[in-house]
Chains A and B, each alone.
Chain A
Amino acid sequence: MLEPLFQGIQLFFTMDAVFAVLVGTLLGLLIGVLPGLGPLMGIILLLPITFHMEPVAGMGLLIAIYVGGSCGGAISAILVRIPGTPLAAATLLDGYPMAQKGRAKDAVGIAISASALGGVLGGIVLIFLAPLLARFALEFAPPETFALALTGLLVIALVSNEATSKGIMTGAFGLLISTIGYDQFANDLRFTFGVNGLLGGIHIVAMVVGLFAISEVIVQIKAGFFSRNPDVPWVRPSLNSALMVLSRWVNLVRSSAIGSFLGALPGAGGVVSSFTAYAIARSSSKTPEKFGTGFEDGIVATESANNATVGGSLIPTLSLGIPGDATSAVLMGALIILGFFPGPNLFEQNQDVVGGIFLAYMSANVVLFFAGIFLTPLFVACIKFKKQYLLPFITLLCVLGVFSLESSTFHLWVMLAFGIIGYVLRRYDYPLAPMVIGMVLGPIAESNFRRSLVISGNDYSFFIDRPIAATILAINLVLIIWMLCPKGWKNRLLRRV
């Protein structure tokens, strides 16, 4: 287990590789902060740079961008209520209210520390449990993946606690949007109306930036006070928020475990794990009512989970050659381009490279931890700007971030449309987070459901004959019954337990 690590030491501890990880983490953090650009786009745009680098340095740079980028989105979510990446949509729930209470420093600090610590825990899972989890991931055929995606969709209802029916509506809307484009099972286009831009479907980033960022710009303009100096105190680097995260170690460990586990299963990814960790943290909390009001545990859960997902997603990517999510798929492509084929052979023949990659991943999280301590004051200082300067700049960043997805203005129209939709939905208290979950899980749920039926020749017993799929489906059923249960019954049941 530790063998690759020892072998990787001399590959990783070179000037180039360490420097690449340092730069990559900070760059990733910045890319995450910018609305639109996330770790995925960041890696894709910077991939050509790695062509001429040593493999471990090149992979180190990309993995560090992934680590930093998975965290950076939280910062803009907390400070300006704009999730820099879809990953941070869950962090918004508690991060922004906390900043509104004048605790922006704490919120950002907690988010970065929780990300770094969650990432380290995910790394430990990666190093010690990779073979085990990889074997488990192999058990996840289409029926299991479908069942798990369904669980993720039920999380929608859990996340939108007070407004369940509104949450289901926005969730269903997100699912519907994900059906736009080419249907590979029917071999034809759905809901594209002859528009070229829709042939590839709606890009989730364009949707998220519109829903959250553009709608927020509208809200901020409507609120006025353009030239008022924001009342944000200067803050100094401190270890406080890291300690706050550590004092919530149960939540930290649990959420990181959820993150790395879901990361290791192909298909799920960071968005789902952060929402799931959030829902579980809330339902197992003694003070569930504090969630959503700026509660430390909310940020710890989401951020540790989505960074632990990074470590988890590297498990099937490296050991099976099957990417855990879209971003690790790109990492896998990069590794092949650098001359190494991920998969079982990699662990046998190139232990040093595997070890170097592990070390790069762990180091990126360490860099992130210190970045949290020293850079938080800098990030918080950004919201010291007056709105009249900040809002145009943010709008331009949204435009550029979305434009760079495909160098296309079509996505900008999508962003604008969802900005208006997002504003209207927010105005009437429809939660936006379920839309993001629906959009992410929609294709996974639908395609694996239909794929299962194709494989089994339209035989539904396929779902029940497979033990893991049947178990997850049973759990889903219990969850549904629980949610439909009248409140009085639930309370009586809980008291008896």
Chain B
Amino acid sequence: MTSNSIRLGRFTGRLPGRLIAPIFFLAIAAIVFWQTNTDLVEKDIASGSMQYNAAFVPEVLAIVLIVLAFFQILQAFRLADANLDTSASEADEEDETPTERGLALRSFVALVFLAFYIFAMRPLGYHIATPLFLACLFVLLNVRNLFLVLGLSVGISYASAYVFGGLLNVVLPAGVFEIAPF
């Protein structure tokens, strides 16, 4: 890691960090207004009296979001200003140690695994994708005994399939190999 990226990390931990949520809400409000002024207008449901106007309630809510988001942004800057001198300790807290960075990376990787799992579930089928996913997670979380990883992944996957697929009659994806014991 270069010192530059560390400084950036410290920076994101402070002021811009607090801005993530307000900016997210502003983006949501922007999407609402974009839709109510394009798609809903095309469908001719964004005008007229309130009961037939599909845009009214969403726009009111979007305005609430915009007002409060700006309030949060303002507050974030005020806090940042006020803490300018005393923020050293806070900044230290935000400073991630290598272990913390590693853990943050691991949680990110776990999400990536989850995304791959969701993506692969239909094509590969539940009974192939699930043990793979579980095994990856176990390894990610420091289970190092190969037999344990294998046994747990296949065991948990199969037992859960029995409960959901067998007892509750959920249609689990069979995948290209058409594996569907339940």
The answer to whether B21 and A430 touch across the interface, beta carbons within 8 angstroms, is yes
Please indicate the chain A residues that have their CB under 8 angstroms from the CB of B128 in the complex: none
Cα A176 to Cα B103 with chains together (Å): 34
Cα A401 to Cα B169 with chains together (Å): 12
The answer to whether A217 and B110 touch across the interface, beta carbons within 8 angstroms, is yes
The answer to whether B152 and A395 touch across the interface, beta carbons within 8 angstroms, is no
Flag whether A282 is at the interface (Cβ < 8 A): no
- Tell whether A454 pairs with B24 under 8 Å between CB atoms, given A173-B65, A226-B142, A400-B160: no
Taking the closest CB of chain B, its distance from the CB of A41, in whole angstroms, is: 9
Flag whether A285 is at the interface (Cβ < 8 A): no
Which B32-71 residues sit within 8 Å CB-CB of chain A? Answer: 32, 35, 40, 43, 45, 49-54, 57-58, 61-62, 64-65, 68-69, 71
Contact of A175 among B61, B104, B138 (CB under 8 A): B61
Please indicate the chain B residues that have their CB under 8 angstroms from the CB of A173 in the complex: 25, 28, 65
The answer to whether A393 and B156 touch across the interface, beta carbons within 8 angstroms, is yes
Task: Tell me how many residues of B have a C-beta within 8 Å of chain A.
Answer: 62
Taking the closest CB of chain B, its distance from the CB of A397, in whole angstroms, is: 7
Flag whether A183 is at the interface (Cβ < 8 A): yes
What 1/0 mask marks residues of chain A from 415 to 458 whose CB sits below 8 Å from any chain B CB? 01001110011011010000000000000001001110110001
The answer to whether A226 and B21 touch across the interface, beta carbons within 8 angstroms, is no
Chain A's closest residue to B46 (CB) is A186
- Give the interface segment out of A127-135, A163-171, A311-319: A163-171
Flag whether A179 is at the interface (Cβ < 8 A): yes
The answer to whether B28 and A176 touch across the interface, beta carbons within 8 angstroms, is yes
Contact of B169 among A45, A187, A188, A392 (CB under 8 A): A45
Which B65-117 residues sit within 8 Å CB-CB of chain A? Answer: 65, 68-69, 71-72, 99-100, 103-104, 106-107, 110-111, 114-115, 117
Contact of A389 among B18, B99, B152, B170 (CB under 8 A): B152
Contact of A190 among B58, B110, B137 (CB under 8 A): B58
Contact of B107 among A218, A399, A424 (CB under 8 A): A218
Contact of A458 among B25, B45, B49 (CB under 8 A): B49
The answer to whether A176 and B68 touch across the interface, beta carbons within 8 angstroms, is no
Contact of B160 among A175, A389, A397 (CB under 8 A): A397
Taking the closest CB of chain B, its distance from the CB of A226, in whole angstroms, is: 4
Flag whether A137 is at the interface (Cβ < 8 A): no
Q: Count chain A CB atoms within 10 A of each CB in B17, B53, B68 and give the residue with the most.
A: B68
Flag whether B122 is at the interface (Cβ < 8 A): yes
The answer to whether B106 and A221 touch across the interface, beta carbons within 8 angstroms, is yes
- Tell whether A226 pairs with B72 under 8 Å between CB atoms, given A188-B54, A407-B171, A409-B122: no
The answer to whether A172 and B50 touch across the interface, beta carbons within 8 angstroms, is no
The answer to whether B54 and A416 touch across the interface, beta carbons within 8 angstroms, is no
The answer to whether A169 and B52 touch across the interface, beta carbons within 8 angstroms, is no
Please indicate the chain B residues that have their CB under 8 angstroms from the CB of A168 in the complex: 64, 68
Cα A169 to Cα B64 with chains together (Å): 7
The answer to whether A421 and B32 touch across the interface, beta carbons within 8 angstroms, is no
Please indicate the chain B residues that have their CB under 8 angstroms from the CB of A196 in the complex: none
The answer to whether B52 and A407 touch across the interface, beta carbons within 8 angstroms, is no
The answer to whether A223 and B141 touch across the interface, beta carbons within 8 angstroms, is no
Flag whether A391 is at the interface (Cβ < 8 A): yes
Please indicate the chain B residues that have their CB under 8 angstroms from the CB of A169 in the complex: 21, 25, 64-65, 68-69, 72
Please indicate the chain B residues that have their CB under 8 angstroms from the CB of A136 in the complex: none
Please indicate the chain A residues that have their CB under 8 angstroms from the CB of B49 in the complex: 453, 458
Please indicate the chain A residues that have their CB under 8 angstroms from the CB of B45 in the complex: 183, 186-188, 190
Taking the closest CB of chain A, its distance from the CB of B99, in whole angstroms, is: 7
Please indicate the chain A residues that have their CB under 8 angstroms from the CB of B24 in the complex: 421, 424
Chain B's closest residue to A164 (CB) is B68
- Tell whether A392 pairs with B137 under 8 Å between CB atoms, given A404-B164, A428-B20: yes
Cα A403 to Cα B89 with chains together (Å): 45
Give me 20 other A-B pairs in contact (C-beta within 8 A), A183-B45, A403-B121 excluded.
A45-B170, A165-B71, A172-B64, A172-B65, A179-B61, A183-B54, A185-B51, A186-B53, A221-B110, A221-B141, A227-B142, A389-B152, A392-B134, A392-B156, A395-B114, A396-B130, A399-B118, A400-B164, A424-B24, A458-B49
Offer 19 A-B interface pairs, CB within 8 angstroms, sorted by A. Answer: A45-B168, A168-B68, A169-B65, A172-B68, A179-B57, A186-B43, A186-B45, A188-B40, A218-B111, A221-B106, A227-B142, A388-B141, A388-B143, A389-B152, A407-B172, A409-B121, A427-B17, A453-B51, A458-B49
Chain A residues engaging chain B, CB cutoff 8 angstroms? 37, 45-46, 48, 165-166, 168-169, 172-173, 175-176, 179, 183, 185-191, 214, 217-219, 221-224, 226-227, 387-389, 391-393, 395-397, 399-400, 403-404, 407, 409, 412-413, 416, 419-421, 424-425, 427-428, 430, 446, 449-451, 453-454, 458
